Structure 1
Amino acid sequence: MADGIRGRAQGTAPVPLSVLDLATVGTGHTATEALTTGVDIARLAEARGFHRFWVAEHHSMPGVASSSPAVILAHLAAHTSRIRLGSGGVMLPNHAPLVIAEQFGTLEAMAPGRIDLGLGRAPGTDGPTAAALRRTATLGEGADDFPQQLTELIRFLDDDFPDGHPYGRIHAVPGPVQATAPGGVQSPHRPPVWLLGSSGFSARLAGLLGLPFAFAHHFSAQNTVPALDLYRESFSPSPLLDRPYAAIGVSAVATEDPEVARGQVLAAALGMVRLRTGRPGLMPTPEEAAAHTFSAMERDFIDSWNGNVIHGTPDEVTTGLNDLHKRTGADELMITANIPGGDVRLNSYALIADAYELPTTT
């Protein structure tokens, strides 16, 4: 079994807790500030007993500065020493598998034994942007080819294309091929591959391949339990895992004053309304959201969206997380706080750590 997949619950948390960060850029702030806040959160997560810190790939969204996960992860590796770092995820159809294998082989060389490679098949953006990324006008091609691309990527990571394969003499470097050179030494680690999803496709594929699975509960809550059931039913043991391991992404914001949490969550929901209606921008402030006149359709969307965001006091948030764990049986909860306030976001993770009595390390 690959090191680091199965975390160990700390304090009173029911399962390991992790962090998913989107490098949120709020109104009046810069990408530099967002990425600096991400480093602060990663360092806090490491010091407070969170298991891993992931970043997500998004494109052409002014309010999200995480378009290049591998670059961000290299920066985070330089500012942390123990916490696992990974992608939640890299959108495989946007990239050549060899490029991803090289990028994450490089990250593994920088931070041995600490890198996760989470993969998704969605574009992480709109259709025209995906076409610009992929140099093709047909958006569906990459998603349809996902299993083939995944197989190719894993073979590059393991350097084990069969004899006669067109890529048999091509090697992802850094990677296993270096151990076969005169004087070479085999690295004991290889980034474990995770599949990400918000429906049943990747759930079934992850199960069939015996891979860990991360489900996007934070934006597809109605599909969470069916997808996890499908993953577990489809699971076949592999050299990586002997039994299923499923993490779920969950939106959670803890504040001492629940009104602050409500303001932050409303602002984030307004940002999502704008994104879903083709008007992506910087994350609005709570003041902008409070002054906004919501249409009936917008209000319905926000009520539905915020119904899946756990927010309030630390006790309210931990109760919500515990209830979610009971409903889903998830093996890990990956908390995301995609809100405009960087300081609020940082403090939220600290409050959750306190509420669960996670151990402080130095």
Structure 2
Amino acid sequence: MSGDHDEIRGTARGSAPVPLSVLDLATVGAGYTASDAIRTGVDIARTAERRGYHRYWVAEHHSMPGVASSSPAVLLAHIAAHTSSIRLGSGGVMLPNHAPLVIAEQFGTLEAMAPGRVDLGLGRAPGTDGATAAALRRTDRLHEGADEFPQQLVELTRFLDDEFPDGHPYGRIHAVPGPSQATAPGGVQSPHRPPIWLLGSSGFSAQLAGHLGLPFAFAHHFSAANTVPALELYRSSFRPSEVLDAPYALIGVSALAAEDGKEALRQARTGALSMLRLRTNRPGLIPTAEEAEAYPYTEMERDFADSWLANVIHGTPAEVRDGLDDLAKRTGADELMITGTVHDAAFRVRSYELIADAYGLPEA
């Protein structure tokens, strides 16, 4: 693939300085179910497609009652059936949790279902606590799994490309569906396979993505202090490849817009309380705004919540637009992927509409 392929480089629309995309965690609010969260995901994906967002990604998480995205490939297959043009992908699949062949088969299947619009974002963290990761991997050697990530990545790439060297033990194994089975619109066979992205919240994946000439996605929404150093490391490490001739960096950012800026903050606090509970080993459903307002924060808990909220761009549509523009300028990001953890499902959908309005993104 060349660096000019649209599967990697997005095109900014309206007055947005860079392409805008969506990261959905399929969050489950108190009083709602996982089925409700998945229906909301469809609403968000269709809204994003209609309003000109470039991608819709979901992220792998486990053992979290408030997050229903434990199986990205299954979710993406469902979303693919309800959309027609927006790019779909994982932000990301946690590769050490799975055999590379399984991921190659899952995303080869997705590519066959939605030719030319599937991304494969990969991370090396477990996406959960240590005990759950051990149950997923059937081993307690979690650090070893992370250390083996580069080797797993090579194996996955070879399965995706069906290109193991002669004499390799896996040389006669083929990930099916693979490139030769993908069919483009009109029945024409397509050589495409999902482009690989590396995800990270520190420097390891940034440097690896640079060395391999791959696109890089950084989790600014929960590791803001590391964003600029990681992107600088990615760019300084970058080597042109068949995939990209220049670096391409996407960052995930929490952003929530409402006609009333105070309401945006009120809703954002539900995500802050949810994250506080997760970080203190009390994971649960996303609390209501009323619960978040009434919660008896200790001083330490209040500091945590305030620190979390400081990295959420919230307010009126114009305020959110200004915050996103400033972030893009400060980081030099090539694309912004917007996420928002709140209790109210309708609020999340409406927030994406308002952000699109603020940038003048057209109605499809």
Q: TM-score range by the shorter chain?
A: over 0.9
User: Counterpart of 2:326 in 1: which secondary structure?
Assistant: helix
* Contact 1:53 1:85 (C-alpha < 8 Å) held by counterparts: yes
Q: Distance in 2 between matches of 1:269 and 1:74?
A: 30
1:178 Cα deviation after fit:
5.0
User: Aligned residue for 1:68?
Assistant: 71
Q: Distance in 2 between matches of 1:321 and 1:188?
A: 36
* Contact 1:113 1:189 (C-alpha < 8 Å) held by counterparts: yes
1:4 Cα deviation after fit:
1.8
User: Counterpart of 1:269 in 2: which secondary structure?
Assistant: helix
Are 2:223 and 1:220 aligned? yes
User: Aligned residue for 2:194?
Assistant: 191
* Contact 1:178 1:185 (C-alpha < 8 Å) held by counterparts: no
Q: Distance in 1 between matches of 2:299 and 2:284?
A: 22
Q: Distance in 2 between matches of 1:22 and 1:178?
A: 30
1:318 aligns with one of 317, 321, 346: 321
* Contact 1:159 1:177 (C-alpha < 8 Å) held by counterparts: no
Structure 2 length as normaliser, TM-score? Answer: 0.97
2:206 aligns with one of 203, 217, 223: 203
1:185 Cα deviation after fit:
7.7
User: Aligned residue for 2:361?
Assistant: 358
* Contact 2:165 2:171 (C-alpha < 8 Å) held by counterparts: yes
User: Aligned residue for 1:257?
Assistant: 260
Residue identity in the other structure for 1:235: F
1:261-315 CA-partner distances (Å, limit 9, x unpaired): 1111111100000000001000011100101110011011111111110001001
Large movers: runs of 4+ above 2 Å: 176-179, 184-188
1:337 Cα deviation after fit:
0.9
Task: State the Cα RMSD in Å.
Answer: 1.2
User: Aligned residue for 1:84?
Assistant: 87
1:163-185 CA-partner distances (Å, limit 9, x unpaired): 01110000000013659xxxx98
Equivalent residue runs for 1:90-129 within 5 Å: 90-129=93-132
Q: Distance in 1 between matches of 2:207 and 2:189?
A: 32
1:188 Cα deviation after fit:
2.7
Are 2:177 and 1:174 aligned? yes
* Contact 2:250 2:335 (C-alpha < 8 Å) held by counterparts: yes
1:242 Cα deviation after fit:
0.5
Q: Distance in 2 between matches of 1:263 and 1:173?
A: 48
User: Counterpart of 2:121 in 1: which secondary structure?
Assistant: strand
Shift in CA distance, 7/293, structure 1 to aligned 2, threshold 3 Å: same
Q: Structure 2: where are the runs of 5+ without partners?
A: none
User: Aligned residue for 1:348?
Assistant: 351
Q: Which moved more, 1:257-266 or 1:347-356?
A: 257-266
Q: Distance in 1 between matches of 2:9 and 2:188?
A: 27
Identity of aligned residues (%): 76
Q: Distance in 2 between matches of 1:103 and 1:95?
A: 11
User: Counterpart of 1:11 in 2: which secondary structure?
Assistant: coil
* Contact 1:131 1:137 (C-alpha < 8 Å) held by counterparts: yes
Q: Distance in 2 between matches of 1:300 and 1:202?
A: 30
User: Counterpart of 2:197 in 1: which secondary structure?
Assistant: strand
1:32 aligns with one of 35, 48, 56: 35
Residue identity in the other structure for 2:70: S
1:141 aligns with one of 144, 151, 160: 144
Q: Distance in 1 between matches of 2:180 and 2:118?
A: 19
Are 2:212 and 1:236 aligned? no
Q: Distance in 2 between matches of 1:177 and 1:170?
A: 14
* Contact 1:206 1:231 (C-alpha < 8 Å) held by counterparts: yes
User: Counterpart of 2:209 in 1: which secondary structure?
Assistant: helix
Residue identity in the other structure for 1:131: A
* Contact 2:51 2:353 (C-alpha < 8 Å) held by counterparts: yes
Alignment coverage as a number of residue pairs: 357
2:305 aligns with one of 287, 302, 306: 302
1:38-68 CA-partner distances (Å, limit 9, x unpaired): 0000000000000000000000000000000
Q: Distance in 2 between matches of 1:4 and 1:322?
A: 23
Residue identity in the other structure for 1:40: D
Q: Which moved more, 1:262-271 or 1:210-219?
A: 262-271
User: Counterpart of 2:120 in 1: which secondary structure?
Assistant: strand
User: Aligned residue for 1:47?
Assistant: 50
Are 2:294 and 1:291 aligned? yes
1:186 Cα deviation after fit:
5.0
Residue identity in the other structure for 2:359: Y
* Contact 2:221 2:312 (C-alpha < 8 Å) held by counterparts: yes
Q: Structure 1: where are the runs of 5+ without partners?
A: none
1:19 Cα deviation after fit:
0.1
1:128 Cα deviation after fit:
0.1
